[in-house]
Structure 1
Amino acid sequence: MTPLLFGVGLGPGEPDYMTVRARDIILKADRLVHFCKRGSRGHARETADRVVAPDAAREIALAFPVTIEVPVAEPGYAVPIAAFYDESAACLAAEMEAGRSCAVLCDGDPFFYGSFMHLWRRLAHRFPTEVVPGVTSMTGAWVRAQTPITWGDDVLTVLPGTLPEAELARRLGDTDAAVIMKLGRNLPKVRRALAVAGLLHRAIYVEHATMPGQTITRLADKQDDRAPYFSIVLVPGEGRRL
């Protein structure tokens, strides 16, 4: 069956990292859907500007009711966000029931900590769906930092910075290489967990990887605890090198 719902990974921010399949879909889809903060365009939609110009007749902006104002573990976040995904899924379902295809534009890869997954869970069993993989933010970060992340038999662990500090430290101590996502207000906690695990000296902080304003520095040299949404910490492995 011809897909009606597309989750389109656009990569970490540099439009040239977009796949050919992603470009084909966003050029042809009836509706271009993107997540955003209230009052602003979504970053994924801005990435797509290199390929497709704004067109009010095609655009559907899904504005989050909350972003960083409320910690994700609190009911004040989960309740409105769940309702938002329900309403967004209903909106797209109406479009697809009318025969229109919807391309949901996604930063990085749609199935890697992506908002699209919540729509996919609500809609993929009802409508023919295609998910287009994208270059992840961590891939863009370690390439731009010129930092091989795993050598030989190194084990890589991907961690959300939202985990409790003790859990972060434990998992960091049990792995050879790590990527820490979802920094924001969690950066001081991540710093402490890295220090406890004896890894702070290896940690690399990357902000806005592949985008304008990209910053790359050793985390130990970073003088403040500011960490925007598009930031990540890399802990490269030190395994077998031939």
Structure 2
Amino acid sequence: MGRIICAGLGPGDPDLMSRRADRAVRGATDIAYFRKKGRYGQARRIVEGMLADDVVEHAMEYPVTTEIPFNSPDYNRRLAEFYDQWASRLITLSQGRDVVVLCEGDPFFYGSFMHLYTRLRGQIEIEVIPGITGMTGCWTAMGEPITWGDDVMTVLMGSMGEDALAQRMVACDALVVMKTGRNLPKVKRALARAGRLDEAWLVERGTMPDQRIARLAEVEEHDCPYFAIVLVHGHGRRPEIAQAAQ
């Protein structure tokens, strides 16, 4: 029986992968990765040029992404079936060899692999290789610390309701909003209600060659990139320290 090895690939730049993840990817005989049907897949793109010539690829194509509401019964049912089927298939594929599953960012931080992990755990040996999170790559790309001193950082999902978003945005110091995409107009409205829109930045494809950094208030309503994160930087005790230094 082989193993399932989930390699956290980091935020997008292959140079930011760990040495362990790099070894796993380059030595893989079988790799599996998530992607939207008809797309190349972000995880697959990150490892371009790193794979062995004879590697066998297994594209795990989501049955649904943004076509129907994520909280609908049909969405949940179809995704559950998808993860059930692929967990079973990965066990079959791992007979006598390891299978490397690619995961952007860190596998245990909102990664799709978590849904496979809970199904595979106890049935097969699993190794999870942590990775730099996408949000870490984004705030580093901006060249500005996300937290200072005793700041409390809050991570929110753009898929939350607008009222809940606005309420939490008021109470936090530093802020990260993930799962933006078509939720971006709602996120902007919530930030405006919280009085924080002017502090917000949109970072698209952070650390990648085509990264974009823009003030969220200046982003058009129709401009809703999928691989993007919203950041609001904290200030903590920075002013006090700076004043003491003077």
Check if 1:235 corresponds to 2:241: no
What is the aligned residue count? 239
Taking a change above 3 Å as real, the CA distance of residues 196 and 58 of structure 1, as seen in their structure-2 partners, is: same
Corresponding residue number in structure 2 for 1:201: 198
Which SS does the other structure have where 1:223 is aligned? coil
Which SS does the other structure have where 1:143 is aligned? helix
Q: Deviations over 1:207-231 (max 9, x none)?
A: 1111232110111111234222210
Corresponding residue number in structure 2 for 1:86: 84
Q: How far is the alpha carbon of 1:28 from its aligned partner? A: 2.2
Which SS does the other structure have where 1:157 is aligned? strand
Q: Is 72-81 or 156-165 further displaced after alignment?
A: 72-81
Q: Deviations over 1:175-212 (max 9, x none)?
A: 11110000111111101111111111110111111123
- Structure 1 Cα separation of the partners of residues 53 and 187 of structure 2: 39
- Structure 1 Cα separation of the partners of residues 219 and 76 of structure 2: 32
Which SS does the other structure have where 1:78 is aligned? helix
Which SS does the other structure have where 1:129 is aligned? strand
8 Å CA contact 1:10, 1:18 repeated in 2: yes
Corresponding residue number in structure 2 for 1:146: 143
- Structure 1 Cα separation of the partners of residues 121 and 222 of structure 2: 39
- Structure 2 Cα separation of the partners of residues 200 and 131 of structure 1: 37
Corresponding residue number in structure 1 for 2:34: 35
- Structure 1 Cα separation of the partners of residues 174 and 85 of structure 2: 39
TM-score by length of 1: 0.94
- Structure 1 Cα separation of the partners of residues 212 and 69 of structure 2: 26
Check if 1:17 corresponds to 2:16: yes
Q: Could you tell me which amino acid in structure 2 is paired with residue 109 of structure 1?
A: D
Aligned-residue identity in percent: 50
Check if 1:172 corresponds to 2:175: no
- Structure 1 Cα separation of the partners of residues 62 and 38 of structure 2: 10
- Structure 2 Cα separation of the partners of residues 53 and 175 of structure 1: 46
Q: Is 185-194 or 34-43 further displaced after alignment?
A: 34-43
Q: How far is the alpha carbon of 1:76 from its aligned partner? A: 2.5
